[in-house]
Amino acid sequence: MLVSKHNEIVSIPEIYSLEDFMANPPDGMEWVDEQLVEKTGMTLKHSEIQFNIGFYWRSYINSNQQGGKVYTEVPCRTYKQGRRPDVAYLTPELVTEFGDVPTLPQSFPLIAEIVSPTDLAEELFLKAQEYLQSGCEEVWLVFPESRLVFVMTDNQVLVFKAGDVVSTQKVLLGFSVAVDELLG
């Protein structure tokens, strides 16, 4: 299958099902509503925030010897889609269980999605709910332009704004960082 990606033709293997995606997830693509969809809208700001979240989460697990791994743009399966969260944390137990699979067969316990200029807020909140219904315990939705961070769990939604300190609620307990520091 040939796909146009950033004005260049790229050959990717035929993907006919979610199971095909799970076995061989193409870079930069998600499996949404039974078709491959390219993740687009990445800006310099988006990339900077993605790096910051990954850096702060990783520094926290290293300084506390908590273990686990932090990933960016890594494929996982929700109950109905193949997704690539911007940043994801996998506990030590899940690293042991699934560390070598091409696609995590469930949502990551902790996920951050950074809103791109092309994202629709409603779709992003639906994606967060999809993660939470598929094994995720906590989702961070980061809105760079409005300088807001929504932290969602199965039973609450918290909003942090510029000047606040955002903290984890269920995963990586004790982690916190200033919203202004996170957003650069």
The predicted-structure confidence for 12-23, as pLDDT tens digits, reads as follows 556 678 888 899
Q: Running along the chain, 184 residues long, what does each successive block of 10 average in pLDDT?
A: 48 71 89 86 89 97 93 94 96 92 95 90 94 97 96 97 97 96 93
Cα separation, 88 vs 46, in Å, equals 15
Confirm whether 70 is domain-assigned: yes
Total number of domains constituting the chain = 1
Question: Which amino acid is located at 150 in the chain?
Answer: F
Q: What is the model's pLDDT at position 127?
A: 95
Instruction: Collect all residues with Cβ–Cβ distance below 8 Å to 131 and sequence separation of at least 6.
Output: 78, 83, 85, 107, 108, 111, 139
**Can you give the pLDDT at residue 108?**
97
So what's the pLDDT on residue 9? 52
Residue 28 lies in a domain: no
Instruction: Specify the pLDDT at position 28.
Output: 87
Q: Is-contact 181 55, C-beta < 8 A?
A: no
CATH code of the domain covering residue 143: 3.90.1570.10
pTM, two decimal places: 0.89
Q: Is residue 63 included in any domain, yes or no? A: yes
Q: Give per-residue pLDDT as tens, 96-108.
A: 999 789 999 999 9
47: containing domain: 41-183
Please check whether residue 25 lies inside any domain of the structure. no
Structural domain contains residue 9: no
- Residue 147 belongs to some domain of the structure: yes
Domain-located, residue 101: yes
Is residue 156 assigned to a domain?
Answer: yes
What is d(CA 1, CA 103) in angstroms, rounded to the nearest whole number? Answer: 20
